[in-house]
Amino acid sequence: MKQCWLLLLIFVCAHGAPTDSVKPGSCEDPDGLGATEEALTQINQDREEGYIFSLHRLSNVNQMKHGPSGMVYYLTLDVLETKCHVLSKRNWSSCEVRQTHETPVYGQCKATIYIDKVQKVDHLYTYSCSVRPAPGYKIVRLCPDCPSKIPVDGEKVRQTVQLSLEKYNSESGQANYFALLNITRASFQGGFGMFYFAEFTIQETVCANTTDIAEASKCALMDCKFAHKGFCKGSHTLAQGKEYISANCEIFEPEGDGTACHQDRAPDLSPPSKRPRGDVRYFPAVARPVTPTSHPDEPMTIPSFPDDPAIAAGLGHPVTLPVFPDTEGPEGTGPIILPFPTDISPQCPSQPKSEQPFIKDLFSEDPLFHHAIDIVG
């Protein structure tokens, strides 16, 4: 087996090397921007958890010609989280980005995509995204009365989700009972009452919706790929001695015939699901910087940066990807994907989709995501 791999590498080096080298491109080039939008679409389609990303701007691009009409793009995308969950399968361009008072989540994705318009090929090879929420102290500074983002594993959050889910099941009219999958986001607001907000995903179970609440925890999730899933927003309010519960869920239709979930269905002989081509990593917000006006007796908060080379590569530095031949395209004429380049294009970044100063500052002040031009400008 080792000899086979060695022969393959020798063949790649001798015969499969690209005739054109990797060169910096322009972030304003229509073809590059088109490749960027397609890459982000495929990134969102490939993901199974979290919220859909929207394009803020193309931060950097390198490209390599392949054949008479193909181009490999090495893209660095600045992204913003939207309010759409990836289960919705919506296009990112139709999803609303979180506003300042909603604690935006921002970051970068590095992606490698091959585009050949003549051969009608658009193949995303790999992606690596790193995102984190806007610092809470920045939100409070602009909107002291706005809800604050809180951990999703708190007792009050779990209670809010439980009450909201019970309310949904009792009022939905669905044939089957739905159970919790994941809590995806939570926030709290004080004032004249206590307001807890939670967002979470749910999945259809094998139990009828008439199942007693006391027995609902024993209901197994439908284990087939045609089970319904949903995304919910719930709240639990305690104000002026009264309790209020809300639940708003969107159920997504599965891709296929729902009868395939019957217990007497034939065995699933379809090939295993595809292996993800990338990952998304979530990191904590940037810590509040220590200023000269800080009291000497106050504890100092020093920002922490990952010392894991793999994590560092996914954040502040280009991701090094393996060299491998591809067999896509006519007669296996796909490109050889080289390691992610380190060159910064002088014709980047592109103009941002949003001119909000708050969003601009998030990227320019974050050492992991800023572009070289941000430091100068």
- Identify whether 275 is part of a domain: no
Does the pLDDT of residue 14 top 70, yes or no? no
Q: Output the pLDDT for position 214.
A: 86
Q: Output the pLDDT for position 357.
A: 93
59-63, 115-119, 160-164, 177-181: range with lowest mean pLDDT: 115-119
Q: Output the pLDDT for position 134.
A: 97
Q: Output the pLDDT for position 265.
A: 47
Do residues 131 and 151 share a domain? no
Do residues 43 and 125 share a domain? yes
Q: pLDDT for 99-129, tens place per residue?
A: 999 999 999 999 999 999 888 889 999 999 9
User: How many structural domains are present in the chain?
Assistant: 2
- Identify whether 355 is part of a domain: yes
**Overall average pLDDT of the 21-32 stretch:** 95
- Identify whether 269 is part of a domain: no
Q: If pLDDT is split at 50, 70 and 90, which confidence band does 349 have?
A: very high
Higher pLDDT, 18 or 81: 81
CB-side neighbour CA atoms (13 Å) of 35: 34
Q: Output the pLDDT for position 298.
A: 41
Of 261, 295, 322, the residue at which a domain comes to its end is: 261
Do residues 58 and 154 share a domain? no
Do residues 228 and 311 share a domain? no
What CATH number has the domain bearing residue 317?
3.10.450.10
- Identify whether 250 is part of a domain: yes
Do residues 235 and 311 share a domain? no
d(CA 347, CA 342): 15
* Amino acid sitting at position 78: D
Q: Output the pLDDT for position 20.
A: 72
**Overall average pLDDT of the 229-254 stretch:** 95
Q: Identify the domain containing residue 342 by its residue range.
A: 22-135+285-376
Do residues 125 and 107 share a domain? yes
Q: pLDDT for 284-336, tens place per residue?
A: 999 887 655 444 344 333 333 333 333 333 343 434 344 444 444 444 567 88
Do residues 95 and 28 share a domain? yes
- Identify whether 280 is part of a domain: no
Q: If pLDDT is split at 50, 70 and 90, which confidence band does 15 have?
A: very low
- Identify whether 359 is part of a domain: yes
- Identify whether 267 is part of a domain: no
Q: What mean pLDDT, rounded, does the chain reach?
A: 82
30-39, 88-97, 220-229, 249-258: range with lowest mean pLDDT: 249-258
In terms of average pLDDT, the best of 148-157, 256-265, 287-296 is: 148-157
Of 203, 227, 261, the residue at which a domain comes to its end is: 261
Does the pLDDT of residue 271 top 80, yes or no? no
